[in-house]
Amino acid sequence: MERSEIFDIAHQRHPIAAPVAPERLRELIGWLSPSDGARAVDLGCGEGEWLQHLLLDHPGITGVGIDHMLPTTGARRSAERGLSDRVRWIETDAPAWSDGEFDVVLCVGASHAFGGLADMLGAVRRHLRPGGQALVGDSIWESTPSASALAALEVSADAYPDLAGLVRAFHEHGFEPSFGHVSTLAEWDDYQFSWTGSLVDWAVRRAPTTEDRSQALAAARENRDAWLSGARRELGFATFALHDVAAGPTGVTVARTP
Ligand SMILES: C[S@@+](CC[C@H](N)C(=O)[O-])C[C@H]1O[C@@H](n2cnc3c(N)ncnc32)[C@H](O)[C@@H]1O
């Protein structure tokens, strides 16, 4: 099975590919206030739940979802929601893509596509019109990571900041957070067990071949083991609505002091 197939199955019951509950997603999106005619982009959109809820809340705006492995479910759900004429889904490499400036830039759980947090924030700024809004979600450490967490996640301790470090990075890139949400353990468990549960259900009930069944079960076990043997309670996730404050109120860029 292709990795993309495993991911599509794993997200069947949790279309938000991040440890964020649907009501928290809607609350975070509620902090964005694009005017009619605004354009939004979702970098590393996955099924595009963030972008779709932004479009549902603001009937006068349009959006673009960018992902290098676009799941078909995003386009299907946006059609069911009557959004097809206001959204474009583009399958491409996000760091290499550009289409002018956007009023809102979304990037949740996709900083790895840009090589990490700092480069992702740089990309968000490049796509954002001066004075625009962004919504960014990324991994943090909830506590100093243990050796078992680092081994389970196959990262070094400096792979992620703590919550204060994440906010510092926003400031360093000229953003001021308005609302923030730190994912709870319940949101993490729901995300992780939906991920593995969807794969196990599919493997047992619907896999067309024994090889597919074995692969899906192996992927579920590997993910669950990594979660339970280290990452749980140590790996965190935080999502913030951000204002670009490097620009003045008229959209004129203000020189920042070094
Ligand atoms: C953890 S998922 C988050 C998806 C979505 N933002 C959400 O919160 O539901 C990360 C997404 O980034 C996408 N991605 C990773 N590398 C990428 C790249 N180089 N260009 C575009 N998308 C990329 C993956 O395909 C995946 O859909």
Around 178, how many Cα atoms within 13 Å sit in the side-chain half-sphere?
A: 16
pLDDT value, residue 47: 95
Q: Which atom of ligand 1 is nearest to the CA of 20?
A: 8
CA of 258 relative to ligand 1 center, distance in Å: 33
Pocket test for ligand 1, best of 69, 98, 99, 127 (most atoms within 8 A of CB): 69
pLDDT value, residue 22: 97
Q: Which atom of ligand 1 is nearest to the CA of 107?
A: 6
Mean of pLDDT values over 14-22: 96
pLDDT mean across residues, the chain:
94
pLDDT tens track for 213-257: 999 999 999 999 999 988 899 999 999 999 999 976 655 555 555
pLDDT band at 72 (very low <50, low <70, confident <90, very high): confident
CA of 46 relative to ligand 1 center, distance in Å: 5
Q: Which atom of ligand 1 is nearest to the CA of 16?
A: 9
Measured distance CA(33)–CA(198) in Å, rounded: 35
Domain covering 19-183+236-244 in this structure, CATH number = 3.40.50.150
pLDDT tens track for 169-205: 999 999 999 999 999 999 999 999 999 999 999 999 9
pLDDT value, residue 162: 98
Please report the DSSP string for 31-42 in residue order. Answer: T--PPTT-EEEE
Q: Which atom of ligand 1 is nearest to the CA of 15?
A: 9
CA of 60 relative to ligand 1 center, distance in Å: 26
In this structure, the residue with its CA closest to atom 24 of ligand 1 is 44
Which residues does a 6 A CB cutoff place in the pocket of ligand 1?
A: 16-18, 44-47, 49-50, 66-69, 93-95, 108-110, 113
CA of 42 relative to ligand 1 center, distance in Å: 9
pLDDT band at 129 (very low <50, low <70, confident <90, very high): very high
Mean of pLDDT values over 69-92: 95
In this structure, the residue with its CA closest to atom 14 of ligand 1 is 44
In this structure, the residue with its CA closest to atom 15 of ligand 1 is 113
The domain limits of the chain are 19-183+236-244
Measured distance CA(33)–CA(11) in Å, rounded: 29
- C-alpha triplet 61, 96, 244: angle, nearest 5°: 50
pLDDT value, residue 4: 84
pLDDT value, residue 3: 85
Comparing 3 with 81, which gets the higher pLDDT?
81
- 10 and 219 Cβ atoms separated by less than 8 Å: yes
